[in-house]
């Protein structure tokens, strides 16, 4: 395994938002080789604009900055809130197509499925011993996902979701995790687990780094109903939707009755999220976008957003269709990614075994 120096971070959350670089961003630019990225998605449906502006854009940027990147297809985690993993294979294929379409390059990044990486999953056992049931019960993201879950009772896997995620992040000793805001409590638990593991089993030389979250300028993009845009909540604009479907979804988006358009996320969350979406697609300041629309009201706002989104997504959609013509590409991307992830995970597990004195 390639020797990887651990990056020290001064803060647990960085941001790539405009208006001054965070210490993490500065470090990434100064010395990308010191960092390692892990992030991923559950194959529960097609990726949407929340993913794009919340995390995918950062992943592609960091990949081209030269940061070693692992992109996880979290297939086991589909089982947390779905009774059966219906059409899992198709969902995994769609997710990898979305990755390729947005510019994640399998020659530079390791795209893998965690179900195929045995040693990663084995980390779950020692990690589970390091957290209390009360700590897991307090996790606000798990509570929220339980509230939206389609199951009548909470499975053990759902409850331990953040610990499994710690295994996902720590198996490759990731130092930077580009995520949306909902993931911050999970990442905090990963940091706690890394700290406790090091303190208990390897106090003189840390085995695991404490990874930092990297938030974008849109860490919580709202969906058409005003709630967090989510694959599973029927409020998303998918990257792969066509232009007409996109126009229909934006037409139906919730707004408010104030005619003058402004960018004020606290007071006007729905309108501001639409303004932000247009601004992100146009690479402009959201206040300036709102100013231009002025007294045009929701109708004019929606026209601007629809045009901006469709123009922005056109090349991504075209690339997705091209990749979909190649039937073998998904399997070969995952075969290569899984092979590399397995090698990395086995090396980490070997270190863990030695530290725990269970290396026989």
Q: Which of residues 148-207 bind ligand ATP (CB under 6 A)?
A: 179-180, 182-183
If the CB atoms of residues 179 and 309 are measured against ligand ATP, the closer one turns out to be: 179
Q: Give dist(CA 288, CA 158) in Å, integer.
A: 42
If the CB atoms of residues 232 and 255 are measured against ligand ATP, the closer one turns out to be: 232
If the CB atoms of residues 273 and 298 are measured against ligand ATP, the closer one turns out to be: 273
The distance of closest approach from Cβ of residue 340 to ligand ATP in the complex, given in angstroms and rounded to an integer, is 22
Query: Which of these segments, 40-48, 127-135, 192-200, 293-301, binds ligand ATP (CB under 6 A)?
Result: 40-48
If the CB atoms of residues 113 and 198 are measured against ligand ATP, the closer one turns out to be: 113
Largest CA distance in the chain: 73
The distance of closest approach from Cβ of residue 40 to ligand ATP in the complex, given in angstroms and rounded to an integer, is 7
As to burial, measured by CB atoms within 10 angstroms (0-12 exposed, 13-18 middle, 19+ buried), residue 244 is exposed
221 binds ligand ATP (CB under 6 A): yes
Torsion on CA atoms 287, 289, 295, 297, rounded to nearest 10: -110
| Region of residue 222 (left: phi > 0; alpha: psi -120 to 50; beta: else) | beta
Query: Which of these segments, 10-18, 48-56, 108-116, 279-287, binds ligand ATP (CB under 6 A)?
Result: 48-56
Query: Pick from 195, 211, 48: which is nearest to 130 by CA?
Result: 195
114 binds ligand ATP (CB under 6 A): no
Return the residue of 16, 198, 224, 230 that touches ligand ATP, per CB under 6 A.
230
If the CB atoms of residues 52 and 208 are measured against ligand ATP, the closer one turns out to be: 52
Residues that bind ligand ATP (CB under 6 A): 41-42, 44, 50-51, 54-55, 179-180, 182-183, 218-221, 228-232
């Amino acid at each position: 395994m390639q020797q990887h120096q651990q990056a020290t971070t001064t803060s647990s959350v960085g941001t790539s938002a405009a208006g001054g670089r965070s210490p993490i961003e500065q470090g990434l630019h100064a010395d990308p080789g010191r960092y390692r990225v892990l992030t991923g998605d559950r194959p529960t449906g097609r990726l949407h604009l929340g993913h794009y502006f919340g995390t995918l854009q950062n992943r592609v940027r960091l990949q081209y900055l030269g940061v070693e990147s692992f992109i996880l297809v979290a297939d086991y985690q589909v089982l947390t809130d779905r009774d059966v993993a219906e059409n899992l294979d198709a969902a995994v294929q769609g997710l990898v197509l979305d990755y390729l379409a947005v510019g994640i390059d399998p020659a530079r990044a390791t795209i893998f499925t965690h179900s195929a990486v045995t040693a990663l999953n084995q980390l779950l056992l020692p990690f589970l011993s390091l957290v209390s049931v009360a700590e897991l019960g307090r996790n606000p993201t798990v509570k929220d996902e339980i509230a939206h879950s389609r199951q009548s009772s909470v499975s053990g896997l759902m409850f331990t979701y953040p610990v499994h995620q710690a295994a996902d992040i720590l198996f490759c000793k990731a130092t930077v995790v580009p995520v949306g805001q909902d993931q911050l409590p999970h990442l905090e638990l990963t940091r706690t687990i890394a700290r406790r593991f090091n303190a208990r089993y390897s106090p003189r030389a840390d085995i695991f780094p404490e990874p930092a979250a990297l938030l974008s300028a849109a860490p919580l993009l709202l969906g058409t109903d005003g709630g967090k845009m989510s694959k599973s909540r029927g409020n998303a604009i998918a990257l792969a939707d066509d232009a007409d479907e996109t126009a229909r979804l934006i037409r139906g988006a919730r707004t408010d009755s104030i005619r003058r358009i402004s960018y004020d996320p606290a007071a006007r969350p729905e309108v501001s999220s639409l303004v932000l979406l247009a601004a992100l697609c146009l690479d402009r300041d959201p206040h300036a976008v709102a100013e231009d629309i002025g007294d045009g009201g929701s109708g004019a706002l929606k026209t601007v957003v629809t045009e901006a989104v469709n123009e922005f997504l056109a090349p991504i959609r075209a690339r997705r269709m091209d990749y979909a013509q190649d039937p073998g590409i998904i399997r070969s991307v995952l075969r290569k990614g899984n092979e590399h992830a397995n090698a990395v995970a086995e090396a980490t597990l070997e270190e863990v075994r030695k530290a725990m004195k269970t290396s026989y």
